[in-house]
Each structure stands twice: as structure tokens, then as C-alpha cells.
């Protein structure tokens, strides 16, 4: 009880007193490769994690008080975070939710002594908050397992900087690939999702998960989104000219829903490319769409009034209520691949997918399933009367001139 009582005061315990790194090493000296935040209330465990982290070049601090989390995140952006799922009793879940509220994009490692099934559930919950979970460790864990996870996280965060993205955009290094969307009943390609790719002059094609998280938290998000939209609109026009009437979908980060001018700017942009908004679909994740602010709802509605399609992406992984779903102006629900991929083997997953399809139809929405990799899954979705499907079974993402639309 005495130890728990420390929750009334801020108890950020800095590893070996190296507080200067937390503030960007403003006092001089050479900065190390990154900073790790260890959210853990067992001193021996946090000391172990910090010791392993320091070996691979990560300075760090341990957070033993949940009340200090917001202040810590306001001062610095961790390169990697570890979270004890039994932090402060049940506060590990609360910490994850708050990390999601802060739109943290740092790689996260879950640490816990709970059983594997519970840990897997916590991981899915974390991802529904928009967090990047790169692994989970069960106590007691081996130092080598921890080292490998931290090294993986460090490689991801140190690879590129904001200036790299800015230069790449300026130099035309980004391009789009398209993955077909198929009408299940008609067995016909009716659209495609536009996916950003980066052709780095030295490293080749960079996987999206190595630069998208950095992009999402940078001022470049808006110009990048507009670049994708303009490119997608131009490609839609090119396909229409060739006789292919298909729609194109692109992802819209929830942060863009805070800009009142976005719907009109998007409309003007696509019309500059001689494309109508009715042929473009903006995909917003379920978690991002469920921002209850009046501004977000207004902006989504203005997109629909302008003619854009709106798809709720990754549906089933978030926390939307039926009332919210009814109020929001979406034209499509996109079922997350974590459910779709299990429907032939899991009765629970099949029941969830069946329910989502029924719900979408009752609300007058199209339902798209993503992540279909085989014929059995396609046939199962057909029996469930799912409208649209997307996945490797129909085609991998490819350059526009390699996408088969017939």
C-alpha cells in the first residue's frame, strides 16, 4: 500500500539520472540512438529493460505513476515504449487507451505475466486504439528476446526522418500501387484501393510501415494526402478514358478531420483532374471515425454532400456504438482482415462477420471484406451476401499499368 501511495505524486524515475536526453540533450553531449519509455511499476523489471535498452543505444526512463504519462508525452516522443499490462493493478489497459488518445505512433512492446490468450486480446485492443504493437513478452522473459524486439523497434524509428520524406516528395520518389476490389456476386472488378509506395534511391522500395507512422505525425500529412488524392483522381480519369468504370479508394487519416477547409479543397483538387468525387472513396479507420466531436461529424457529412464515398475501415476492431454508426454518413463498411481471415476456421469470427454484413445492409451501406487469400473464404463471403471483397486472392497491389480490370 505504501508503494501504491506514490501515485499521488509524479514519480518518473530516470535511468541513471540521464534526464538530459528526455529534453533533447539540450545541455550538450552526443545524443544516443533513441529514447525508451518503460511504463512499469516493478523496479527490478524496469531496471532490467532499461539495462538491455542501453546496450543497444537507447537511453530511457521508467514511468511508475500513470498520472505522469501526459506530461511525459508532452515533453518528448519516445522511440519505443514498453507497457506492463498489470501496471497499477488494471491500469495497463487504461495506459494503452491514453496512449491512443495521445495518437502515439511509437512502436510498443507489451509486457505481462497474464496468459497468452489475454495478452493476445490486449494486443488487439491496443491496435484498435491505433497503436503500433511490435511484440509481446510474457514474464519471466529472456534478455535476448527483449533485445531483439527493442532492436527491431530501433531499426524502424531511426531509418528515416521528416526531412527524408520532404525530400522524397519533392523529388517524386513516391508512387501509387492499386489493389482490386471485386463485386462478389457479379465476380467483377469494380474498384481499387490506392496504396502509397516509396522508391528510395538507395534502399529500393520502402515498406509502408517504415514511413507511414512518421508521416502521420508530421506536418507533411496534408500535402501527402493531397498528392495521393490527385494521383488517384488522375488514374481514375485515365481508366475511364480507356473504358473502365471503376472507383478508387484512398486512406484518410483522422487528423485531417480537424481541418474545416478539407472537403472543399479535396473537391476542387479532384475536379482539376477532371474527375468527379462520386468515383472516389475516402477510407477512415473505425477508431478515427468515432471521434464524437461535432467538427469531425460535420466534415464527414460535408464530404458526403460533396459526393465522395466514405468507408469505415478496419470495422470490428474499434469501439463504435450502434447509435454513432447510425449517425455517421458512411456509404461503406470495410470488415477488418483479422476477422475475415478466420471465417472458415472459427465459428466466432464467422458469426462476427455475418453480424457486420447484416448490420451494414440494414443501415443501407455496402459491405467490403478485406484480406481474402483463398477461394474458400471467397465462397463463404458469397454465402453471407457480402458485397465487395479485396485481397491477394484477386490480386496483389500493383502499378496501374499492371492491374487487370477485366
Q: In a 3-state reduction of DSSP, which class is residue 189?
A: strand
Distance CA 326, CA 365 (A): 10
Res 283 pLDDT > 50: yes
Q: Confidence class of residue 113 from pLDDT cuts 50, 70 and 90? A: confident
* Domain end residue (candidates: 117, 134, 158): 158
Q: Within this chain, do residues 326 and 380 fall inside the same structural domain, yes or no?
A: yes
Instruction: Determine the pLDDT at residue 27.
Output: 27
Number of structural domains in the chain: 2
Q: Within this chain, do residues 395 and 342 fall inside the same structural domain, yes or no?
A: yes
Q: Confidence class of residue 243 from pLDDT cuts 50, 70 and 90? A: very high
Q: Which range marks the domain in which residue 21 is found?
A: 4-158
Distance CA 86, CA 62 (A): 15
Q: Confidence class of residue 384 from pLDDT cuts 50, 70 and 90? A: very high
Instruction: Determine the pLDDT at residue 161.
Output: 82
Least confident of 255-264, 316-325, 357-366: 316-325
Instruction: Determine the pLDDT at residue 15.
Output: 31
Q: Within this chain, do residues 174 and 245 fall inside the same structural domain, yes or no?
A: yes
Q: Within this chain, do residues 329 and 378 fall inside the same structural domain, yes or no?
A: yes
Q: Confidence class of residue 291 from pLDDT cuts 50, 70 and 90? A: low
Q: Within this chain, do residues 141 and 212 fall inside the same structural domain, yes or no?
A: no
Q: Supply the CATH number for residue 111's domain.
A: 3.40.50.2300
* Domain end residue (candidates: 127, 158, 189): 158
C-alpha triplet 334, 304, 245: angle, nearest 5°: 70
Q: Confidence class of residue 72 from pLDDT cuts 50, 70 and 90? A: confident
* Domain end residue (candidates: 129, 158, 187): 158
From the DSSP assignment, how many helices (H) and strands (E) are in the chain?
A: 16, 15
Q: Confidence class of residue 18 from pLDDT cuts 50, 70 and 90? A: very low
- Mean pLDDT taken over the chain: 82
Q: Within this chain, do residues 121 and 174 fall inside the same structural domain, yes or no?
A: no
Q: Within this chain, do residues 357 and 224 fall inside the same structural domain, yes or no?
A: yes
Q: Within this chain, do residues 190 and 286 fall inside the same structural domain, yes or no?
A: yes
Res 123 pLDDT > 50: yes
Instruction: Determine the pLDDT at residue 367.
Output: 97
Q: Angle at which helices 116-128 and 91-101 pack, to 10 degrees?
A: 20
Q: Within this chain, do residues 14 and 28 fall inside the same structural domain, yes or no?
A: yes
Res 14 pLDDT > 80: no
Q: Supply the CATH number for residue 198's domain.
A: 3.20.20.450
Q: Within this chain, do residues 187 and 103 fall inside the same structural domain, yes or no?
A: no
Q: Within this chain, do residues 17 and 115 fall inside the same structural domain, yes or no?
A: yes
Res 310 pLDDT > 90: yes
Res 218 pLDDT > 50: yes
Instruction: Determine the pLDDT at residue 265.
Output: 96
Q: Within this chain, do residues 100 and 201 fall inside the same structural domain, yes or no?
A: no
Amino acid at each position: 500500500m505504501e508503494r501504491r501511495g506514490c501515485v499521488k505524486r509524479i514519480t518518473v524515475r530516470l535511468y541513471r539520472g540521464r534526464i538530459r536526453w528526455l529534453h533533447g540533450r539540450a545541455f550538450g553531449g552526443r545524443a544516443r540512438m533513441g529514447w525508451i519509455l518503460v511504463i512499469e511499476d516493478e523496479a527490478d523489471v524496469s531496471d532490467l529493460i532499461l539495462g538491455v535498452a542501453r546496450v543497444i543505444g537507447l537511453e530511457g526512463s521508467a514511468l511508475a505513476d500513470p498520472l505522469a504519462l501526459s506530461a511525459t508525452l508532452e515533453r518528448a516522443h519516445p522511440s519505443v515504449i514498453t507497457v506492463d499490462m498489470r501496471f497499477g493493478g488494471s491500469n495497463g489497459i487504461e495506459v494503452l487507451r491514453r496512449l491512443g488518445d495521445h495518437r502515439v505512433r511509437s512502436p510498443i512492446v507489451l509486457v505481462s505475466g497474464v496468459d497468452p490468450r489475454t495478452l493476445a486480446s490486449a494486443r488487439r485492443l491496443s491496435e484498435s486504439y491505433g497503436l503500433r504493437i511490435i511484440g509481446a513478452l510474457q514474464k519471466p522473459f529472456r534478455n535476448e528476446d527483449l533485445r531483439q524486439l527493442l532492436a527491431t523497434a530501433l531499426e524502424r524509428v531511426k531509418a528515416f526522418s521528416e526531412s527524408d520524406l520532404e525530400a522524397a516528395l519533392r523529388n517524386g520518389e513516391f508512387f501509387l500501387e492499386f489493389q482490386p476490389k471485386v463485386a462478389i456476386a457479379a465476380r467483377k472488378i469494380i474498384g481499387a484501393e490506392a496504396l502509397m509506395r516509396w522508391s528510395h534511391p538507395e534502399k529500393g522500395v520502402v515498406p509502408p510501415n517504415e514511413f507511414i507512422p512518421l508521416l502521420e505525425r508530421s506536418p507533411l500529412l496534408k500535402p501527402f494526402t493531397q498528392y495521393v488524392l490527385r494521383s488517384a483522381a488522375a488514374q481514375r480519369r485515365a481508366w475511364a478514358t480507356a473504358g473502365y468504370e471503376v472507383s478508387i479508394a484512398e486512406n484518410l487519416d483522422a487528423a485531417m478531420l480537424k481541418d474545416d477547409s478539407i472537403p472543399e479543397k479535396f473537391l476542387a483538387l479532384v475536379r482539376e483532374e477532371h474527375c468527379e468525387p462520386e468515383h472516389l472513396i475516402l477510407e477512415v479507420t473505425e477508431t478515427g471515425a468515432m471521434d464524437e466531436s461535432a467538427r469531425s461529424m460535420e466534415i464527414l457529412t460535408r464530404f458526403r454532400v460533396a459526393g465522395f464515398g466514405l468507408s469505415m475501415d478496419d470495422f470490428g476492431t474499434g469501439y463504435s456504438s450502434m447509435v454513432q454508426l447510425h449517425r455517421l454518413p458512411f456509404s461503406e463498411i470495410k470488415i477488418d482482415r483479422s476477422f475475415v481471415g478466420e471465417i472458415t476456421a472459427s465459428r466466432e469470427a464467422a458469426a462476427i462477420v455475418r453480424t457486420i454484413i447484416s448490420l451494414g445492409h440494414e443501415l443501407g451501406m455496402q459491405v467490403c471484406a478485406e484480406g481474402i487469400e483463398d477461394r474458400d473464404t471467397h465462397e463463404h463471403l458469397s454465402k453471407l451476401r457480402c458485397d465487395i471483397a479485396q485481397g491477394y486472392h484477386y490480386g496483389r497491389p500493383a502499378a496501374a499499368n499492371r492491374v487487370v480490370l477485366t
